[in-house]
Amino acid sequence: MLDPNLLRTQPELVAAGLARRGFTLDLALLRHLDDRRKALQVELENLRNERNRLSKAVGMAKRSGEDALALQGEATAVSARIATVEEDQRAALAAWDTFVQTLPNLPDAEVPDGRDENDNVELRRWGEPRTFDFAVRDHVDIAEQLGMADFAAGARLAGSRFVVLKGFGARLERALIQFMLDVQTQEHGYLEIAPPYLANAASLFGTGQLPKFEEDLFALRDDPYYLIPTAEVPLTNLLRESIVETLPQRFCAYTPCFRREAGAAGRDTRGMIRQHQFDKVEIVQIVRPDASAAAHEELTAHAESILQRLELPYRVVALCAGDLGFSAAKTYDLEVWLPSQGMYREISSCSNFGSFQARRLQLRYRKDDGRPELAHTLNGSGLAVGRTLVALLENHQQADGSLRVPAALRPYLGGVEVIRGQ
């Protein structure tokens, strides 16, 4: 959530920042809501002062033996008016909160200008896309021919955008999860967490999924829970409404993730690129504001290391202002090469949220002078397991239909170097 003081004191600055995202701030409504709040606050303070004056006057009248009935009537009328104004004030504050909660984060000054993904800026590449001397197959054909996946069974069991992994498909997914967790915990210093896969509304509000993106969440029908769309939600909420004594804090978790993909109807309907249920290893950092920028670079490098060890060519892209997620101030996307599509596709987003999430979460730390201040939060996919499996299948396919297993994964598959048909 944006700083309310900034909204009140520098609304034009906020409007200019949001305009970079293609978001138009309704300055007239903002001022109206703030003026209404201030007017009610002034009226309430005046009424309370008047009530105090009348209360003292009633007491003095009674002590001196005078008739206090008229003064008591005035006091009663003022108290009634106070109750009305207090209700109006609650409504005004709720209207202000509702308005502010719809405002996205301000882009960092380093974020490039642009309207959509076409204006994103490539920063660097790692690895060279492989040249094949045979007809390239996509991951669906490879997985089915090797007996690793059954898309028809997934559709029968649940519907479209689901898959059943089996045999080496299931083993390879499990190996990827374990490999990713081992790298992040043993080498990069993240604390592994096994969180709930359900979250309450307060948790989803804290990380910015609610109220704006409720249509993309799976909600339980008769209970106040949602299936988590990413482990970012429980990991970042671990320290909600607390003052953290030691920073940085680093968490990682493997979880299944659940998304309606409401905004992606008709996109990537074939295969495992965009599913309603998918696995992901998430990495989260909570840091002091002065360490925020460096932490973003570090966290991104931690996600990159997984792709490098799996020998998957990728590029790093800085998202332009118009393509940023709702809560993000700055985002790097890692895009892995998919031979069947002849293009790079997103496999991880690494974002710095500044204090935006922390303000919603009331997540603070103590400065050197002991005063509490909002922390900064960051997160990234380290990585999306399904898309990593897709990239492995396509980049490491062989002419005879088999799949070469990258050296980094072999210890997690009992030393298997090549996967052949089952």
Q: Is 122 annotated as a binding residue?
A: no
Check residue 269 and give its pLDDT.
72
Check residue 127 and give its pLDDT.
98
- Taking phi over 0 as left and psi of -120 to 50 as alpha, with beta for the rest, 5 belongs to alpha
Check residue 265 and give its pLDDT.
64
Question: What is 115-417's CATH topology?
Answer: BirA Bifunctional Protein; domain 2 (3.30.930)
Q: Is 74 annotated as a binding residue?
A: no
Q: Is 173 annotated as a binding residue?
A: no
Q: Is 347 annotated as a binding residue?
A: yes
In three-state form (DSSP H/G/I as H, E/B as E, the rest C), the secondary structure along the chain is CCCHHHHHHCHHHHHHHHHCCCCCCCHHHHHHHHHHHHHHHHHHHHHHHHHHHHHHHHHHHHHCCCCCHHHHHHHHHHHHHHHHHHHHHHHHHHHHHHHHHCCCCCCCCCCCCCCCHHHCEEEEEECCCCCCCCCCCCHHHHHHHCCCEEHHHHHHHCCCCCCEECCHHHHHHHHHHHHHHHHHHHHCCCEECCCCCEECHHHHHHHCCCCCCHHHCEECCCCCCEECCCCHHHHHHCCCCEEECCCCEEEEEEEEEECCCHHHCCCCCCCCCCCCEEEEEEEEEEECHHHHHHHHHHHHHHHHHHHHHCCCCEEEEECCHHHCCCCCCEEEEEEEEECCCCEEEEEEEEEECCCHHHHHHCEEEECCCCCEEECEEEEEEEEEHHHHHHHHHHHCECCCCCEECCHHHHHHHCCCCEECCC
Predicted model pTM: 0.93
**How far apart are alpha carbons 276 and 163 in whole angstroms?**
10
Question: What is 25-100's CATH topology?
Answer: Helix Hairpins (1.10.287)
Instruction: Give the count of beta carbons closer than 10 Å to the beta carbon of residue 234.
Output: 23
Chunked in runs of 10, what are the mean pLDDT values of the chain (422 residues)?
A: 96 98 97 96 96 94 90 95 96 96 97 97 98 96 96 95 96 98 98 98 96 93 95 98 96 97 70 94 98 98 98 98 98 98 97 98 95 98 97 97 98 97 69
- Taking phi over 0 as left and psi of -120 to 50 as alpha, with beta for the rest, 311 belongs to left
Which of 408, 410, 379 has the alpha carbon at shortest distance from 193?
379
Cis ω for the linkage preceding 211 (within 30 of 0): yes
Q: Is 177 annotated as a binding residue?
A: no
- Contact call for residues 205 and 360 (beta carbons, < 8 A): yes
**How far apart are alpha carbons 253 and 191 in whole angstroms?**
8
Check residue 421 and give its pLDDT.
74
Q: Is 410 annotated as a binding residue?
A: no
Strand partners, 343: 338
Q: Is 379 annotated as a binding residue?
A: yes
What are the angstrom distances between the C-alpha of 53 and each of 10, 56, 59, 72, 75?
Answer: 37, 5, 10, 11, 9
Domain-wise residue ranges, the chain: 25-100, 115-417
Q: Is 231 annotated as a binding residue?
A: yes
Q: Is 215 annotated as a binding residue?
A: no
Check residue 268 and give its pLDDT.
73
Q: Is 381 annotated as a binding residue?
A: yes
Residues annotated as catalytic are: 259, 274, 346, 349, 387
What single letter denotes the amino acid at residue 137? Answer: R
Check residue 32 and give its pLDDT.
97
Which of 238, 209, 210 has the alpha carbon at shortest distance from 377?
238
